[in-house]
Structure formats: structure tokens, C-alpha cells
Amino acid sequence: MKYAIPVYEGRLSLHFGQSTEFMLIDTDAEGNITGKKVVAAAAHNCGATPVMLAREGVGIVLAGGMGYTPRTVFERSGIEVVLGITEPDPETAVKSHLNQTLKSGQNVCSHGDEPCGHTHGHGHSH
């Protein structure tokens, strides 16, 4: 299984959308980490990074928080999203997930679940 974790300077980055790098961690059937690499995020547009990670073969994304649009793109790509991660070390987070001891919880993104392309100014002017 291949995991992707948004990182900043090698530690968990809480906000998926603001992350410039992702650590990809490969695991084998026994739950051992068999490889890892850091990839740069795609240019900031809503679906680019999830599509890029899907192409990399990622199966599970561990993140602190994520907006609506990337979550939807991941789900469409058949990628599991685990949010509310607080473990700062990506390898520890992956091992904990494999052992089913990883604490996950609320999506820490505070900007709600609006899809991208935020519409400004609801209501109509007369």
C-alpha cells in the first residue's frame, strides 16, 4: 500500500491545501515501510494534486485537514482519506495506521466544506 502525507520540512502539515510537499511511503503486506520519497505538490489548483498522487499509485492519504474538493477527487480516484491526524512524524503515522492505533478525528480545516471556485456575494442586487 502506498500512503501520501502532506509534509512541511519532513513533518505533518496540517492543511492539505497549503502543503507544497507530500511524503509518499510504501508499505508491504506485513506492514513494513519499504520505501519513501518526497514529491512536490502540483500547482495550486483544486484537483491537480489528488490526480498527481493517484498517478503515483497512492491508496491512502493521511492528513490533518482537507477541503471538500480534494476529498471528492480522492474518493473518485478510489483513494481512502483519513483526516484529523495529529501525529507529526509521517512514518509513525503510517505505522500507527497499519497497526490500527492511529488517532484520527475531526477535519482540522476550519474553512468549511465549500467546493473550490468560491462564489462571492450571495444574494441578488435589485
User: Per-residue pLDDT tens for 70-111?
Assistant: 899 899 999 999 999 999 999 999 999 998 888 877 776 654
Domain span including residue 40 = 2-98
pTM (two decimals): 0.81
**Res. 122: pLDDT tops 50:** no
CA distance 21 to 69: 18
Nearest to 25 by CA among 65, 53, 67, 50: 53
Is 18 in contact with 27 (CB distance < 8 Å)?
Answer: no
> What CATH number corresponds to the domain at position 45?
3.30.420.130
Look at residue 51 and tell me if it is in a domain.
yes
Look at residue 117 and tell me if it is in a domain.
no
| Radius of gyration, alpha carbons of the chain | 15
If one counts the domains in the chain, the total is 1
Adjacent-strand bridge partners of 2: 26
